[in-house]
Chains A and B, each alone.
Chain A
């Protein structure tokens, strides 16, 4: 008996003060049950409400629209997969696909290599670290429209700085907007200018988590810096590489603002659509031609492109890192 009495209060001592607020009455019990069970759902409900309204609903309706034929007069007609078969036979759509993929490759490959090089440099002991990192990230703050405005002027045929530089080393001026490859190059540099520093900072963060002992051991074994970079840094960066590449894939395949601004705010992408991307194609079909079904079908095909592109890149990176 006495034992029980003694041990009871000492183990239960913290309990009484804790009940101070919640003295059990039936209403209170219900309220606390409500608080425990319902509160989590209440807390996430704003997000999922928005998700339903501006995520699920438009996605579903895009699918729905893509099965109908809209025309300027306002008539709507069921066409089944008609929009898709028409798109797949539409040379304008394929032109946009080729442009998008071309600019994606021209922009992304050098961008990732440069970002790795830059991250490696940022990882060294340097003075004014914060200043350097701010400098590297400066382009990210600049809006795409601003970037495109400035670069479009720099690439101007007659008074552009780049043509002036080319001219001073004896190269004929290039009409950057008129031809396919020059326009792709010009647009790719806008993308790379904006994103290389950002990717470098992401790589840098991952590089700093690699244990330094690995490098020290490799250095003692006589591995050169270059070898250390390829055999330690690159394989250890694999997860980050996947993140960066997937990010670039989504961003690259949905390219819109740079090429649009490059052509003075017009979604046609040059006189022969030589730099019209799929996103621009969708806007042109949906909001210039008011062919909503066609635009919606193109949006789903774009999504398919992104899925396939992400998958290919994912497998590619896994192989590169795995082979060592």
Chain B
């Protein structure tokens, strides 16, 4: 170790440059880790398509088939025609629920984020702290029983509003939009608009909204995915004949346990819309995720 110090000193400028770039060079181990990860990540989804495009006879072959077959269209038709799953209703309901929740959450959060980040008012800090604290509470589990009873007494069981309304409470959204507004809208801009005589609503529309649009997109995509994928609450308040797509898959799973082809086709059809969203908005999703992580 001590002998190393002398040559290192004489070659310092070169060593630093070479060492500096060398540190971030991909080693064979890096490549192996990444390739294995991507294969493992993609395999279950690939497998889903393989089984969804086969027949039940082939799906239980030993060794199992590793390439997609030609039955995908026919299997999907079976899913859509299945009378227990109400799959098409589930798909429609999921689209309605996820879109309504997304639009509302983004609006509510943008409003609150603007107030918390750029308006001064009494109790603001404490109210924001309250949001952060409640983000730690697993509301879905904690509030399940009373919320269910509430939906029963309102006679909302089996209706979409029973699913939608509780989802609108989203502390993460308020937190994210507060952070984003703080970073994207300089205080001077708001003050200047105020001096020009703009009302609060006008400032929101003309100053805040254009600046926080990327943050809204991240929150929107996030909310859509979480709502689309959620399972526990819709399972409790919806009935099997008017389900979300996840509940429909669950019905298939519960009733046709060994009809893998049917279940897998339904599953594949439910994942597809999200994969499309993910590929189209991938750059923003990753950017937003990484930005949020550093700030939180």
User: Could you say which of A132, A134, A264 contacts B257, with CB atoms under 8 Å apart?
Assistant: A264
- The verdict on A202 contacting B253 (CB below 8 Å), with A40-B121, A134-B279, A254-B140 known, is no
Residue in B closest to A240 when the chains form the complex, CB atoms: B293
Chain A residues near B166 (CB-CB < 8 A): 54
Flag whether A124 is at the interface (Cβ < 8 A).
yes
> 1/0 per position for A301-318, CB-CB distance to B under 8 A?
011001000100000000
Q: Are A201 and B293 in contact (CB under 8 A)?
A: yes
Flag whether A61 is at the interface (Cβ < 8 A).
yes
Flag whether A75 is at the interface (Cβ < 8 A).
no
- The verdict on A292 contacting B149 (CB below 8 Å), with A35-B200, A54-B169 known, is yes
- The verdict on A61 contacting B146 (CB below 8 Å), with A145-B246, A150-B267, A261-B253 known, is yes
Q: Are A121 and B169 in contact (CB under 8 A)?
A: no
> 1/0 per position for B121-142, CB-CB distance to A under 8 A?
1001001001100101111111
Chain A residues near B30 (CB-CB < 8 A): 121, 124, 126
User: Could you say which of A64, A141, A283 contacts B271, with CB atoms under 8 Å apart?
Assistant: A141
- The verdict on A43 contacting B114 (CB below 8 Å), with A21-B197, A138-B41, A303-B137 known, is yes
- The verdict on A164 contacting B144 (CB below 8 Å), with A201-B293, A310-B136 known, is no
CA distance A63 to B114 in the complex (A): 34
Chain B residues near A143 (CB-CB < 8 A): 228-229, 231, 246, 270-271, 274
Q: Are A46 and B108 in contact (CB under 8 A)?
A: yes
- The verdict on A219 contacting B23 (CB below 8 Å), with A40-B115, A139-B41, A264-B257 known, is yes
User: Could you say which of A225, A243, A250, A283 contacts B296, with CB atoms under 8 Å apart?
Assistant: A243
Flag whether B189 is at the interface (Cβ < 8 A).
no
* Chain A interface helix/strand/loop/mixed: helix
Flag whether A295 is at the interface (Cβ < 8 A).
yes
Flag whether B6 is at the interface (Cβ < 8 A).
no
- The verdict on A159 contacting B44 (CB below 8 Å), with A122-B34, A212-B20 known, is no
Chain A residues near B76 (CB-CB < 8 A): none
User: Could you say which of A44, A57, A228 contacts B127, with CB atoms under 8 Å apart?
Assistant: A44
Q: Tell me which of B56-64, B67-75, B209-217 binds A.
A: B56-64
> 1/0 per position for B23-46, CB-CB distance to A under 8 A?
111110111011001101110110
User: Could you say which of A41, A54, A161, A193 contacts B139, with CB atoms under 8 Å apart?
Assistant: A54
Within 8 A of B (CB), among A99-151: 117-118, 121-126, 130, 132-147, 149-151
CA distance A95 to B71 in the complex (A): 43
Residue in B closest to A297 when the chains form the complex, CB atoms: B145
Chain B residues near A41 (CB-CB < 8 A): 115, 121
Would you give the shortest CB distance from B62 to chain A, in whole angstroms? 6
* Chain B interface helix/strand/loop/mixed: helix
Flag whether B282 is at the interface (Cβ < 8 A).
yes
CA distance A215 to B19 in the complex (A): 9
CA distance A124 to B15 in the complex (A): 19
Interface range, A side: 35 or more
Q: Are B108 and A47 in contact (CB under 8 A)?
A: yes
Q: Are A54 and B63 in contact (CB under 8 A)?
A: no
Q: Tell me which of A1-9, A84-92, A180-188, A203-211 binds B.
A: A203-211
User: Could you say which of B169, B195, B249 contacts A55, with CB atoms under 8 Å apart?
Assistant: B169
Within 8 A of A (CB), among B100-129: 108-109, 111-112, 114-116, 119-121, 124, 127
- Chain B interface, number of residues (Cβ within 8 angstroms): 112
CA distance A309 to B12 in the complex (A): 49
Flag whether B168 is at the interface (Cβ < 8 A).
yes
CA distance A202 to B289 in the complex (A): 7
Flag whether A94 is at the interface (Cβ < 8 A).
no
Chain B residues near A295 (CB-CB < 8 A): 144-145
> 1/0 per position for B258-296, CB-CB distance to A under 8 A?
001001100100110011011100110110011101101
- The verdict on A55 contacting B134 (CB below 8 Å), with A135-B37, A136-B37, A283-B232 known, is yes
> 1/0 per position for A63-85, CB-CB distance to B under 8 A?
01100000000000000000000
Flag whether A176 is at the interface (Cβ < 8 A).
no
CA distance A48 to B294 in the complex (A): 27
Not counting A43-B115, A124-B27, A303-B142, a sample of 7 additional A-B residue pairs whose C-beta atoms are within 8 angstroms of each other reads A21-B197, A143-B271, A146-B48, A158-B60, A197-B41, A202-B293, A220-B16
Q: What are the 9 A-B residue pairs with the smallest beta carbon separation, nearest first? A: A58-B143, A21-B197, A61-B146, A205-B290, A143-B229, A39-B200, A265-B254, A40-B121, A135-B38
Which A residues form the contact surface with B (CB < 8 A)? 18-22, 32, 35-37, 39-41, 43-44, 46-48, 50-51, 53-55, 57-59, 61-62, 64-65, 117-118, 121-126, 130, 132-147, 149-151, 153-154, 158-159, 161, 164, 193, 197-198, 201-202, 204-206, 208-209, 212, 215-216, 219-220, 222, 225, 228, 240, 243, 246, 250, 253-254, 256-257, 260-261, 264-266, 279, 282-283, 286-287, 292, 295-296, 299-300, 302-303, 306, 310
Which B residues form the contact surface with A (CB < 8 A)? 1, 4, 8, 12, 15-16, 19-20, 22-27, 29-31, 33-34, 37-38, 40-42, 44-45, 47-48, 51, 59-64, 108-109, 111-112, 114-116, 119-121, 124, 127, 130-131, 134, 136-150, 165-166, 168-169, 174, 195-201, 204, 225, 228-229, 231-232, 236, 246, 249-251, 253-254, 257, 260, 263-264, 267, 270-271, 274-275, 277-279, 282-283, 285-286, 289-291, 293-294, 296
